[in-house]
Structure 1
Amino acid sequence: MTAQVTRRRRRGSELEHAILEAVREELAAVGYAGLTMDGVAARAQTSKPVLYRRWPSRAQLVMAAMRRDVPSPGELPDTGELRSDLVALLRRLARRFDDWPKGMIAGLLAETLSDPELSVLIQDLFTGPMSQLAAEVLERAAARGEIHGERLTPRIRRLPLDLLRSEVFLRGQAPPDLYIDQVVDEILLPLLHAI
């Protein structure tokens, strides 16, 4: 008698979680250049059409996996002080890359030279959801009276993330805590208190 194995069909967030985990594992195994929809589908035990229904390209699939680690507005702790809020924000965003394969960021950045869609998606990651987090930290500080909220230009609101992104892009990996402390103490706080 042959034993029948019935596999429950995954849907929704359970399926998405499995797919995005498979993306991480594939990146660790083959890097961005070797990542294929076939490989991700096989690792996630699903089909390519399932992937393409959600993510029309490899670049969009990888960005979805990266975006999953970005905290939502309101998830950041309010320490009651601008400095510690900025340090907490930048460290948390930088640590998002700790679980990713070594060299993955550098590989993705190298691919942006030949994949304009990937370049746009990476820029959107840093200027979209992540910029909302920086704005939240600055608005809380303004509400506490630590800085002048009415003087915060869009460029100043983006500066914490621009500095983090610059370091990530230059190094190809997350910066150390010392870098974040120096950026906050030597650049951001003097600027924010001077305006």
Structure 2
Amino acid sequence: MGRRRGETLEAAILDAAWDELSERGYANLTVESVARRAGTSKPVLYRRWADKRELVEAAVVRRHAAQSVAPADTGSLRGDLIATLIELGETRGPFLTQLSLLLAGYFTETETGFTELRELFLAGRRSGADVIMRRAVERGEIDPDRLTPRIAALPFDLLRAEAMMTLRPVGREAVEEIVDTVFLPLVRPGGR
């Protein structure tokens, strides 16, 4: 096998970092163990990432991107939310639960939480929630004066909470209750 460089080497390192994180958790992961698993040396890793924290963040962002879900476009706010939340509940719920366990040491060390991690995931891009809400405002399905950032995040936050509490994929019934009973009454024009 030839010498790996550039994106190929970086992908191998980040995959090794994710595998080490999955097996050992943040507290027990070392740059040395990642280098060994990736078949490279510690200096190669340190040329790309300043420390273990940055390496783990890059690995988590890469894994998150590989599992990203595009927001549904069904033509209605309710349809977009239900379709997107069901897909997220089936795919992202287990991933977020796994992350919360694996990154406990990271969150303690950095004094951060999922809010800051979410910023790394987005890296300045609009979230799927933002896209869904913008389309709904344009269609007149949402009163923009009632759509605060916290309310816009509410269906996604409730989905994450449900996934974390049950440790199972979130089903259609729970998603419909989140959308119909909690979210839509808060944002519809005239509160209807």
Q: d(CA) in 1 for partners of 2:81 and 2:136?
A: 10
Query: Where does 1:44-193 land on structure 2 (aligned, <5 Å)?
Result: 44-68=38-62, 69-70=64-65, 75-94=70-89, 95-96=91-92, 98=94, 103-108=98-103, 110-112=104-106, 114-117=108-111, 119-120=112-113, 122-127=114-119, 129=122, 132-167=127-162, 170=165, 173=167, 175-178=169-172, 179-193=174-188
Q: d(CA) in 2 for partners of 1:106 and 1:31?
A: 8
Distance 1:125 1:160, change over 3 A: farther
Distance 1:134 1:126, change over 3 A: same
Q: d(CA) in 2 for partners of 1:175 and 1:61?
A: 29
Q: d(CA) in 2 for partners of 1:169 and 1:56?
A: 31
Q: How far apart are 1:38 and its partner, in Å?
A: 1.2
Residue by residue over 1:35-58, the C-alpha shift from the partner in whole angstroms, topping out at 9 and shown as x without a partner, is 111111211222223323333333
Distance 1:184 1:124, change over 3 A: same
Q: Is the counterpart of residue 35 in structure 1 residue 29 in structure 2?
A: yes
Q: Can you give the 5+ residue segments of structure 1 that lack an aligned partner in the other structure?
A: 1-5
Q: d(CA) in 2 for partners of 1:71 and 1:135?
A: 20
Q: d(CA) in 2 for partners of 1:175 and 1:29?
A: 22
Indicate the larger mover: 75-84 or 86-95.
Answer: 86-95
Equivalences, count: 184
Secondary structure of 1:158's counterpart equals helix
| AA partner of residue 116 (structure 1) | T
The normalised TM-score by structure 2 is: 0.74
Answer yes or no: is the 8 Å Cα contact 1:32–1:104 preserved in 2. no
Q: Can you give the 5+ residue segments of structure 2 that lack an aligned partner in the other structure?
A: none
The normalised TM-score by structure 1 is: 0.73
Answer yes or no: is the 8 Å Cα contact 1:138–1:149 preserved in 2. no
Bigger share in helix: 2
Query: How large is the Cα RMSD of the aligned pairs?
Result: 3.4
